[in-house]
Structure 1
Amino acid sequence: MRFSLATQQYVREIFLVAILLVTAWLPAVSQGADRGLANVTAAFIYKISKFVIWPESTFKNKDSTVNLCLYGPDQLGLAAILGKLKGKKTQQRPLDVFSVSSESALVRLIKEGQHCHMLYFTNGNINQILKRNTSLLTNTLLVGGNKGFLTSGGMVALILVDKKLNIFINRQALEQSSVKLQARLLMITKTF
């Protein structure tokens, strides 16, 4: 069976429109999934901050903020989401959020007196930073997003397993730190 030239042209146009719609739809679905993951990750980070015990020496005074720092490329948009939490209370202290893209910016932030109480590594790459900045190992809760982060010395990792975000911990890194997690949080974590 042969179709007329007009019918063939019409089918081609419909096919092209369908391809354009699918290719336009795929990034939107991916962005929606990323946005959802970013929102859940931000919520976990904020909730975790409520169950961390930092040494009093990490705070300048009783009104000091809990500083959450994000290090690395922010492909999920966590800084913008967490930025909305700025000033919100965690452990009776206001939360402040800093986003730094390089190690030198992180070091500068710390030298300026902004202690990072929680440091979230967006790319999980901590090896060299920890070797050069050992103070991060004792007074900062190091959080990342994969198991490799934990094997490199990270303390807490938020890992997606079967479409659910799970909290994994590195007990050895936590034991070597002066930062402690409350038992209520430890009960829901998985040990790596």
Structure 2
Amino acid sequence: MSETTDDTSEKDITKTTAFRVARLLYGGIIVFTAISGLRNIDAQAAYAESKGIPMPEESVVSSHGLLLLGGLGIGLWRFPALAASSIVAFFVGVTPTIHDFWEREGQERQNEKNHFLKNVALAGAALAFLGVGEKKGKSGEFCGSYRRTRSTRFCPRSLASSNLARATGRFSPMTAPTSAPMAPPVLAALLLINPPRPPPIAPPIAA
């Protein structure tokens, strides 16, 4: 009885005026940030290169494209779990590499720290939207925003649970529309934002 009441209450949250205003404001800010980055690719790429990010231009385009899709998804409340996951992936990849305030001194340290804390707050808000989106999927109103179903067992609670189901052989074709499209874009975006760096090549030894 309590679980049913909790599910109903979570569904009602998305229909309240406060929640609608919140997602429009948050989604609008994310979209504005993404468009601003895409309109200044050269400057953003130069800054990323100064931070030692490999493939700076490609990283800027892919990361801000991911952010744009996430902001639109939250603002329009379409595919909310996937949209929120994209925003979280952006901030997890960008924040510690671009705004490494602990490596700076003086005013630059304070500026980077402010940006770091701002991004942490925005990532926290995205996690809150992710929680609501997952709850809606669990309640059966829609499952991962791909198909409507009355059965909660077809709705993965998180990216980790869907990956675990696939790894253990419990991945059913019925879950493919909900779990399969979520993980690859997020993982690919993280790799583009902060790809693994090749090991340094040792100089040849003189004979």
TM-score by structure 2 length?
0.27
Q: Which has the larger radius of gyration?
A: 1
Structure with the larger helix share: 2
Give TM-score scaled by structure 1 length: 0.28
Larger strand proportion of the pair: 1
